[in-house]
């Protein structure tokens, strides 16, 4: 009977050793997988930085100026002929005099003055 007991113990130890080795192999495999993912992430970060740099270079004032000044370009700088002047119209009452602000506008203005910092700073003389 002792021989059968010895074989049982040997079989159990062998199975436990195989399970332990399999677990260790999975741990090492997961470490390699994590390392590969880190390398991919670093590569993507580098590609992203390169793309961002290229985009910023295309948006730069120097690049845009070169594109505008190229021969055969449809673009041009704005000159005085491209500027449109709009005159502001002053509100007038019916009789032609400047309109007096309404009480509601004066009340709103006084309310906003109350919310502001208060008195303006005044310089004191050193007499």
CA-CA distances (angstroms) from residue 108 to 17, 24, 91, 99, 115? 86, 77, 19, 17, 11
What is the residue-wise DSSP string for 54-108?
A: HHHHHHSHHHHHHHHHSTT-S-----GGG----PPPPPB-TTSSBPPPPHHHHHH
pTM of the model: 0.43
- Walk along the chain (127 residues) and give the pLDDT tens digit of each residue: 699 999 999 999 999 999 999 999 999 999 999 999 999 999 999 999 999 999 998 888 888 878 777 777 777 677 788 888 887 766 655 565 555 556 555 655 665 665 555 555 555 666 5
């Amino acid at each position: 009977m002792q021989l059968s007991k010895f074989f049982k113990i040997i079989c159990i130890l062998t199975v436990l050793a195989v399970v332990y080795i399999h677990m260790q192999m999975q741990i090492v495999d997961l470490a390699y997988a994590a390392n590969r993912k880190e390398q991919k992430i670093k590569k993507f970060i580098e590609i992203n930085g390169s793309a961002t740099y290229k985009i910023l270079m295309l948006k730069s004032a120097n690049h845009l100026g070169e594109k505008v000044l190229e021969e055969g370009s449809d673009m041009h700088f704005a000159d005085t002929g491209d500027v449109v002047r709009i005159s502001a119209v002053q509100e007038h009452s019916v009789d032609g005099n400047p309109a007096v602000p309404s009480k509601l506008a004066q009340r709103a203005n006084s309310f906003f003055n109350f919310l502001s910092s208060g008195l303006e700073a005044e310089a004191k003389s050193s007499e």
